Amino acid sequence: MKKLFLVVPLVLFGMFNSFAQEQVIKANPIGLAFGIANAGYEFTVKDGQTVTISGLYYNISDVSGFGAGGEYRFYFDGEAIRGWHAGPSVGYFSLSDDFDNSAGFFSIGGEVGHQWVFGEHFALDVFAGLGYIAGNSDDLAVSLSSAAVSLGVSIGYAW
């Protein structure tokens, strides 16, 4: 029985440790210059496929807000977190101004890019996307329905 208590944790640790080698936490440093802080956590779900969960904080002039999103990536070389990738993305963000006006927006789209892992841990992700944004604001009597183009660079730590 004592051996079982030793073997099970070692097997579980081995499974999670090998899985843990395919994760990246990253942020977009360029966005900070414009008042946008976003960070994400990417993890492997299958060979050559990952999920990214991200958060965003926006503060420009008198408008601030937050958002969250997700992306499913397919890596063309079959190795997760490295190489050319593409996949769908979804998101939601909420904005408000100093006058207590607020608005909420949903987005859906796709991205394509390339992610490098240098050395053992340094990650660089360059990507572009095309999407659709829709939302409205009861406070401002405004609605939005538009196509959007995105470009980005993220740096991070892979393990």
CATH number at residue 50: 2.40.160
Give the pLDDT mean for 48-57: 97
78 in a structural domain: yes
Please tell me the pTM assigned to this model.
0.82
154 in a structural domain: yes
125 in a structural domain: yes
10 in a structural domain: no
Share of residues in the chain with pLDDT > 70 (%): 85
8 in a structural domain: no
Q: Name the phi and psi angles at 44, rounded to 5.
A: -75, 135
From 126, 123, 136, 130, select the one nearest 148 (Cα to Cα): 130
Contact (CB, 8 A) for 85 and 122: no
9 in a structural domain: no
Strand (E) or helix (H) holding 81: none
Task: Please check the confidence at residue 140 and state whether its pLDDT lies above 50.
Answer: yes
18 in a structural domain: no
Q: How many domains does the chain have?
A: 1
154: its two tokens: 């993220």
Contact (CB, 8 A) for 96 and 102: yes
pLDDT tier, 139 (very low <50, low <70, confident <90, very high otherwise): confident
d(CA 149, CA 144): 15
136 in a structural domain: yes
72: its two tokens: 């499913």
d(CA 83, CA 155): 15
pLDDT at 141: 63
- Please give the single-letter amino acid code of residue 42: E
How long a stretch of residues is the chain?
159
Strand (E) or helix (H) holding 53: strand 49-60
The domain in which residue 132 lies consists of 23-158
